Every structure is written in structure tokens, then in C-alpha cells.
């Protein structure tokens, strides 16, 4: 690999002498995390990142890699911000506490939810959260379905946050469409559209209600997933009970 001015010892010493901090992997990732919070994960360039740490793009590449490598490092940092509930909580209480945290963290870094839904974090970054979440499901009795149940919940969470990120970037279009849907609220011949129109009209009329719409939608989505898993757990428990009876017979 060719050397660049910041890579050679004499220049490193001159940075220190001039009071400029050394360019390190952690400092580069810190800057990328900050840019992602400010502009969104997909809205900064490697050149902008390099400028943020007062270096050349080649120095970023030297310490971390290309832009995709930096994004992976950012996502690992984002996942590291997730707070895990008490591992002794029952499975549903654990996820009721954890899933709102997922939205709060991912919303700080627009675009991170979409990337995580598609590719996930690195294995190293994923281990604490996955082990805790799947562990609670195993303890509850989901058995071999525990990894599927965990992936269902996290994929749903990421997808709804990604939708919120995308729609927020096209707010003017959303307002135009909202008014169009609201116009159907008096259509007795289209009861489904009338119900939707009433709901949308309430949002258009009340900015505070509209501001909390996506948080409520997210909560509704994950709670209905949890309801479905609770029903599935009851089915698994019934099946296990039947097998025990047959075995005893």
C-alpha cells in the first residue's frame, strides 16, 4: 500500500506538535457515527468523513477500509448502544422493555434500521443482544423456534423504523397523500376507506397526534407480533403436554 503524508512518522509527529489529534480507527468511527446522526447513514461521503478527522480519504481507508467497512463499524456502534433488560424478566416483559429501546436507538441514526434489516451487524456485535433475546425465548419454551421468533421481532422492528426514516425524508408528499385519504371519510359506500379517512383526518387536524403516529404504529406492530408469539407458545405447550401424555401412556 502506498504511504500518505499522515501515515509517515515525521508527519505523525508534526500533527502532535501542532496540537492536532492523531488519526485512529476509533476517531474515524466516532466521526462517522456523528455524521450518521446528523445526516443519516447513507448521506455522507468518505471525503466528508476524512475532512471531519482532518485527514485524506486514503488515511480513512488505511485505518478502517472503504465506505462499506466504515458503515459496518458504525452499525456495530449503534447496536452497542442498545440497553438489555434484566435477564430474569419473563420473555414478553423482556421484549416489551427492549423493543421500544430499539426504535429509540435506531431513530438516532437514520438509515441504520434499513441496513440492519438487510444485513444485520457483525457477529461479534450481535452476540450480546442475540444471546439475551433468544435465551429468554428458549427459557419460555419456544425451543427450536426461538431463533425464528427473535428474528421475527427484530426484523419487524427494523422494518418499521426504516419506513419511518424513509417517509420522514418525503414529508411533503406524505402530507399531500394524507389530505387525499382524509377526503374519503364521508364515503359511506366505501366503509374501509371511510374508516381510514377518519383516522387520517384526525392526524391532519392535530399536529401532536400526528407527531406520535409512527411511534404508535411501531408499538402496535411489535405488540401484535408478541401476541402472535404468545399464542404460538400456548400451541407449543399444548403439543408438549399431549406428547407427555402419550409417552406416559
- Domain at 35, CATH number: 1.10.10.60
pTM for the structure as a whole: 0.84
Q: Quick check: 201 and 182 in contact, CB under 8 A?
A: yes
The DSSP result for 38-87, as a single string, is HH-TTS--HHHHHHHTTS-HHHHHHHT-SHHHHHHHHHHHHHHTPPPPPT
pLDDT tens-digit readout, 100-113: 999 999 999 999 99
Instruction: Please work out, in degrees rounded to the nearest 5, the angle formed at the alpha carbon of residue 48 by the alpha carbons of 47 and 50.
Output: 65
pLDDT tens-digit readout, 60-92: 999 999 999 999 999 999 999 999 999 999 999
Q: Do residues 127 and 227 both lie within one domain?
A: yes
In three state form, how does the secondary structure of 223-235 look? Answer: HHHHHHHHHHHHH
Other Cβ atoms within 10 Å of 180 Cβ, number: 11
134 falls within a domain: yes
Mean of pLDDT values over 132-150: 97
The residue out of 28, 47, 77 marking a domain boundary is 77
Examine the pLDDT at 245 and tell me if it is beyond 50. Answer: no
pLDDT tens-digit readout, 28-58: 999 999 999 999 999 999 999 999 999 999 9
**Per the structure block, which three cell numbers stand in for 102?**
430499539
Q: Would you state the pLDDT for residue 123?
A: 96
The residue out of 56, 77, 98 marking a domain boundary is 77
Q: Would you state the pLDDT for residue 61?
A: 95
Residue found by looking up cell 456495530 in the block: 76
| Domains in the chain, number | 2
From the CA atom positions of the chain, what is the Rg in Å?
A: 24
User: Which domain range does residue 16 map to?
Assistant: 5-77
Examine the pLDDT at 17 and tell me if it is beyond 80. Answer: no
Examine the pLDDT at 161 and tell me if it is beyond 60. Answer: yes
The residue out of 77, 112, 138 marking a domain boundary is 77
Q: Do residues 114 and 220 both lie within one domain?
A: yes
Strand, coil or helix: what is 131?
Answer: helix
Q: Would you state the pLDDT for residue 136?
A: 98
Q: Would you state the pLDDT for residue 8?
A: 39
Amino acid at each position: 500500500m502506498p504511504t500518505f503524508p499522515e501515515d509517515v512518522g515525521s508527519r505523525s509527529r508534526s500533527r502532535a506538535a501542532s496540537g492536532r489529534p492523531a488519526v485512529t480507527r476509533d476517531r474515524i468511527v466516532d466521526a462517522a457515527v456523528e455524521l450518521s446522526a446528523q445526516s443519516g447513514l447513507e448521506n455522507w461521503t468518505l471525503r466528508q468523513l476524512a475532512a471531519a478527522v482532518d485527514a485524506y480519504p486514503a488515511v480513512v481507508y488505511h485505518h478502517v477500509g472503504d465506505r462499506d467497512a466504515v458503515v459496518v463499524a458504525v452499525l456495530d456502534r449503534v447496536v452497542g448502544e442498545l440497553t438489555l433488560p434484566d435477564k430474569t424478566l419473563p420473555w414478553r416483559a423482556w421484549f416489551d422493555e427492549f423493543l421500544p429501546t430499539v426504535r429509540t436507538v435506531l431513530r438516532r441514526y437514520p438509515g441504520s434500521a434499513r441496513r440492519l434489516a438487510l444485513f444485520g451487524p457483525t457477529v461479534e456485535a450481535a452476540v450480546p443482544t442475540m444471546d439475551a433475546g433468544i435465551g429468554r425465548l428458549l427459557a419460555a419454551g419456544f425451543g427450536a423456534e426461538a431463533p425464528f421468533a427473535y428474528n421475527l421481532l427484530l426484523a419487524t422492528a427494523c422494518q418499521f423504523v426504516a419506513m419511518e426514516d424513509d417517509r420522514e425524508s418525503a414529508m411533503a408528499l406524505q402530507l399531500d397523500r394524507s389530505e387525499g385519504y382524509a377526503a374519503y371519510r364521508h364515503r359511506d359506500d366505501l366503509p374501509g376507506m371511510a374508516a381510514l379517512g377518519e383516522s387520517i383526518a384526525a392526524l391532519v387536524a392535530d399536529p401532536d397526534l400526528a407527531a406520535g403516529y409512527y411511534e404508535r404504529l411501531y408499538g402496535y406492530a411489535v405488540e401484535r407480533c408478541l401476541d402472535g408469539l404468545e399464542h404460538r407458545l400456548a400451541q407449543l405447550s399444548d403439543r408438549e403436554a399431549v406428547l407427555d401424555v402419550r409417552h406416559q401412556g
